[in-house]
Chains A and B, each alone.
Chain A
């Protein structure tokens, strides 16, 4: 008996499935099944956790009629575009400079700029709640150095919510994006630059004609990653505005709205419908990624 079990377990066709099984079970039970369940829930109305009935597309109609939803969608889109405008050019230029052999101790600087990425987003949120407070350090700095009076109330004005969130994102993600750009940069052959120098190219020309074109795959990769991450932004506004959407819902994001709809309003069907819409948006951007990179060639 024992012999036959072990011979089955060692059979050429069985072995890979034994190794796959643990991952596959967890994957099917806690990823595939909940996705299906969430889609089903988006067509249901919940009275408490047990009591649900089918309501067709009602949840979706409600979602699109919701003023807060369109505001969350707009906020999230503006936030995502804002992070792209900062978190692509800034890390790209910093990475190029750090890779140019014209900076002493470039590894040290790469490490220091990376440090914020080690903090949890919760901590990033708490620290910036303190720094952005009305009488916090940033305003002291702005008023004493640049004479800005009265200092902006970063956390209390609706229009300043997204800039504040983008500031936190810049602090938290610049170092990581530098790493991505750096791994793209080290793959550009040095000979190209040597040849360009012989041809009398200026550093600026080399950046436009060699670095940028050859860095295109990395740049696109970081762009898509930032879009997908941007649309899912949750913890930063959740902490900065203590679980709410901030003043006038100026910091209300899609993910935050889903969380509040589910766990504050217990509106599970509507939350699921919002989740499906968010997934659809991210799906479209991911398709663009796969179109550009192929599914598996993430790094080249």
Chain B
């Protein structure tokens, strides 16, 4: 009998708690709904402004849901500017950069993770420390170098000088440390040479790290402005970021055109992100860099 009362009290207490918690939970959630609206709004505004008829961007600025829609700005992007070329350039350059940077970080990361040799730790330290060299120290000398090497307006000039990524190397090395040495030694005993081991055992085992890094490298180049801005001056060779910068200077008053370009540069990334959300967010948290 006493036990049953105790049970009843407990049940009632729990029920009260269950009813009580949701209230501050709802309040806090509401707070985050407002925050989220604030953070997503500029993106919404970008898309909406790109769809407003040219002259109405500021006139209709108070229409949160525009009454008049138009695709004119998108049309003139492709007819008045080589926007199609910019998309293709961005895709090719981004792919080239991500693959090159990936190749460099996986090979070197493997060497630093799985082999012992003189000067290894010193080398690793030097590479990591080089991460703090501001790129603006290098722009002048790198610019002179690519002029001398004939790499201005050239994909290689845009990709190679920035392809050795200390952070990528750090990330791969940390991951490869966890690959079992026994497995590699067993393959050696079976007569596999070192390069077979790398391609058929190490790389497949590091697949999650490689996939994450490929995404982060792609995001990095796709969004990069400074170095491509220096390498490419001709409109036909520009990637999207540089092209949009050109739009801003070319069409100072035509915000609709700039917004259309920005939308087309951003939406594919956001859509891809929805599928790769975990990898991107965990990857960024793990590499400790907001990719610039």
- Interface residues of chain A, those whose CB is within 8 Å of chain B, are 6, 9-10, 13, 15-20, 22-24, 26-27, 30-35, 37-38, 41, 49, 94, 97-98, 102-106, 109-124, 126-131, 133, 135-137, 140, 144, 171, 173-176, 179-180, 182-183, 221, 225, 228-229, 231-232, 234-235, 238-239, 242-243, 254-255, 258-259, 262-263, 268, 271-272, 274-276, 278-279, 282-283, 286, 295-296, 298-299
A10-B194, A22-B104, A282-B132 known; A180 and B142 CB under 8 Å? no
| B29 CB contact (under 8 Å) in A105, A235, A243, A263 | A105
Nearest-CB residue, chain B, relative to A30: B161
Cα distance A117–B139 in the bound complex, in angstroms: 25
A103-B32, A299-B288 known; A171 and B39 CB under 8 Å? yes
Residues from chain A with a CB closer than 8 A to the CB of B134 are: 231-232, 255, 275, 278-279, 282
B169 within 8 A of A: yes
Are A19 and B139 touching (Cβ within 8 A)?
Answer: no
Interface locus among B4-12, B73-81, B240-248: B240-248
Are B137 and A140 touching (Cβ within 8 A)?
Answer: no
Nearest-CB residue, chain B, relative to A289: B132
Residues from chain B with a CB closer than 8 A to the CB of A113 are: 35-36, 39
Residues from chain B with a CB closer than 8 A to the CB of A235 are: 225-226
* Contact residues of B between 233 and 275, Cβ < 8 Å to A: 240-241, 244-245, 248-249, 252, 255, 258-259, 262, 265-266, 269-270, 273
A112-B36, A272-B141 known; A120 and B265 CB under 8 Å? yes
Residues from chain A with a CB closer than 8 A to the CB of B240 are: 120
Residues from chain B with a CB closer than 8 A to the CB of A105 are: 29
B175 within 8 A of A: no
Nearest-CB residue, chain A, relative to B202: A19
What are the 7 tightest A-B residue pairs by CB atom distance, in nearest-first order? A120-B223, A23-B108, A16-B115, A275-B137, A19-B111, A37-B141, A34-B141
B127 within 8 A of A: yes
* Contact residues of B between 59 and 117, Cβ < 8 Å to A: 61-62, 103-105, 107-108, 110-112, 115, 117
Cα distance A225–B290 in the bound complex, in angstroms: 9
Are A34 and B142 touching (Cβ within 8 A)?
Answer: yes
Residues from chain B with a CB closer than 8 A to the CB of A15 are: 111, 115, 194
Cα distance A180–B239 in the bound complex, in angstroms: 30
A123-B46, A295-B125 known; A103 and B25 CB under 8 Å? yes
B147 within 8 A of A: yes
- Interface residues of chain B, those whose CB is within 8 Å of chain A, are 21, 24-26, 28-29, 31-32, 35-36, 39-40, 42-43, 45-46, 49, 57-58, 61-62, 103-105, 107-108, 110-112, 115, 117, 120, 123, 125, 127-130, 132-145, 147, 160-164, 169-170, 193-195, 198, 219, 222-226, 230, 240-241, 244-245, 248-249, 252, 255, 258-259, 262, 265-266, 269-270, 273, 277, 280-281, 284-286, 288-290, 292
Residues from chain B with a CB closer than 8 A to the CB of A275 are: 134, 136-140
Cα distance A27–B258 in the bound complex, in angstroms: 36
Residues from chain B with a CB closer than 8 A to the CB of A268 are: 140, 144
18 A-B pairs with CB atoms under 8 Å apart are A16-B111, A22-B104, A23-B104, A23-B105, A23-B169, A26-B104, A27-B130, A97-B28, A98-B32, A113-B35, A117-B290, A120-B222, A120-B240, A179-B284, A239-B248, A272-B137, A275-B137, A278-B134
Residues from chain B with a CB closer than 8 A to the CB of A104 are: 25-26, 29
| B107 CB contact (under 8 Å) in A20, A33, A120, A121 | A20
Cα distance A213–B2 in the bound complex, in angstroms: 45
Residues from chain B with a CB closer than 8 A to the CB of A18 are: 194
Residues from chain B with a CB closer than 8 A to the CB of A117 are: 284, 290
Are B58 and A136 touching (Cβ within 8 A)?
Answer: yes
Nearest-CB residue, chain B, relative to A254: B136
Are B284 and A176 touching (Cβ within 8 A)?
Answer: yes
Residues from chain A with a CB closer than 8 A to the CB of B62 are: 140, 144
Residues from chain B with a CB closer than 8 A to the CB of A123 are: 46, 244, 262, 265-266
Known contacts A130-B259, A180-B285; 18 further A-B pairs (Cβ under 8 A):
A16-B111, A16-B120, A19-B111, A31-B133, A35-B137, A104-B29, A109-B32, A113-B36, A119-B223, A120-B222, A128-B42, A130-B49, A179-B281, A242-B248, A259-B136, A275-B139, A282-B134, A295-B125
| A122 CB contact (under 8 Å) in B28, B32, B42, B225 | B225
Are B245 and A38 touching (Cβ within 8 A)?
Answer: no
Nearest-CB residue, chain B, relative to A225: B288
Nearest-CB residue, chain A, relative to B130: A31
Are A180 and B288 touching (Cβ within 8 A)?
Answer: yes
Nearest-CB residue, chain A, relative to B145: A34
Nearest-CB residue, chain B, relative to A234: B226
| A102 CB contact (under 8 Å) in B28, B45, B144, B252 | B28
Are B25 and A111 touching (Cβ within 8 A)?
Answer: no
Are B57 and A109 touching (Cβ within 8 A)?
Answer: no
Residues from chain A with a CB closer than 8 A to the CB of B273 are: 115, 118
Cα distance A20–B269 in the bound complex, in angstroms: 32
A68 to chain B, nearest CB (A): 15
